[in-house]
Structure 1
Amino acid sequence: MGVPEPAGDPRGILHARAAADAFALGRYPPSAELAPFVEYLWSVQWDRTGRPAHVQRILPNPSVHLSFEPALSRVTGLSRRRAAFEYRLTGAGRVIGVRFRPGGARPWLAGPVSALTDREAPVRELAELDAAALSAAVQDAPDAAAAAALVDAALVPLRPAPDPTVDRVAGLVEQVQHDPSIRRAADLAELAGLGVRSLQRLCAEWVGVGPTWLVRCARLHEAAARASGGPVAWAALATELGYADQSHLVRDFARVVGEPPARYARAAAGQPTKPER
């Protein structure tokens, strides 16, 4: 295991300012043996003893996650649900998670990644681990870095052979995330040198969702990040992200995030919210 990045990766964590007061987030590079498959390991630690529960909302992302939580372990596939995930933090605890690279979970599975889409699965569908024992060890570890190292070490002997398709798929997803000119499945298919149907099959097999979902997910992550960073010209941003107009961005944002973007931006900046007209 490498040195953790203490600030973690807050992108996709809604209302990050409030989240920082509610829990500690860490991110840890995988070992060299897992790097072909894993983007990073992450930790969440909290202590709400004597304090109200904290409900945290997380935007969907294009990765399969393996997590070890208090008395629980699971594999979480990609979600096509319109709303962000909600996690309720009570008492005290720690979660160690493994975020696979887009496509990185496929070599671990007996079938396509789409078999995990919109569902949570037992750990055995991905790796033959004593998941209950590893979850307990995560809670007993002296700190989050040590807990992440335990999970990494447990996965290394079970790793499959690397597959070059993972690099190809992860590269395509990275292009979607960083190139706003990719607005449709056809744009990504052209970059990939594939027909749209072939790209759809590749994404379903290796990522778990279609290219249109990847584009939409990336654009909403960008919109939420912009909203958290200060004043936004929403009409200009809608055009930049490939929406037909501002109203389409507002509807999409509100449907997934749970509130209109202007209200979200005010709350993210610590300003009182106002009723939307």
Structure 2
Amino acid sequence: MLILLPPSEGKTPAKSGPPVDLAQLHFTDLTAARQEVAGALAQVSARDDALSHLGVGASLAHEVLRNTRLEQEPAAPAHSVYTGVLYDALGYHRMTPTQKRKADAGVVVVSGLWGAVGFADRIPAYRLSMSAGLPGLGRLASYWKPRLGAALEAHAEGHLLVDCRSSTYAAAWTPAAGRTVSVNVFTERDGTRKVVSHFAKHTRGELARHLLTRRGKAPETPAQLARAAGEKWVVELVPGTLRRHHALNIILAD
């Protein structure tokens, strides 16, 4: 089982330590692309219109400035750099050593800057969304799509993929439908369902935590995944097709 996560918008920078070593990150086939994106990001982040180009406000100017010196910034494991609602719910720091090893081996974060990283890969904090475009590269989801497919398919071979990414990050790689389950979260009142956003992030983080910390064998099929999620929530599994992923719908009481 592999769990696909989006990055968090906010990042917690490492206070000290060596900078990122691209050769030590997972998916080394992406190294040249990572260098290309980092170079374009540094150039954009040094411009007068950097904030508007990257779609952030003035309060985040210090984070954009950090983009210009990523090669010198201290790096830390991805699970500590990425923070926010989903990652708080996942609670890596509250796991046992055995559970942390499972998370390190079983979580892949899809990123606008790195393409994809393992959960224990050491990276610096940065500011860049997959929805952004960079000069010479275009929209990042389109830039990464063929590159991620080539790099991740072999890694994903034989695994059930639990896709907890938002649509922005899901656009950067579409894994094989038969072994992929997209996770959706709804609230329901009087038989009427509504898609939620904030609670979806929290619930996806809780699902990831549940799958990594529960006793027993990891799910290997969509049906086994639904049974595991059903230990904690009301769920339904919508079977996929040759082209459409399976869908695990988690239903929360409104």
TM-score (norm 2): 0.29
Q: Which has the larger radius of gyration?
A: 1
Highest RCO, 1 vs 2 (Cα 8 Å, sep ≥ 6):
2
Q: What TM-score do you get using the length of structure 1 for normalisation?
A: 0.27
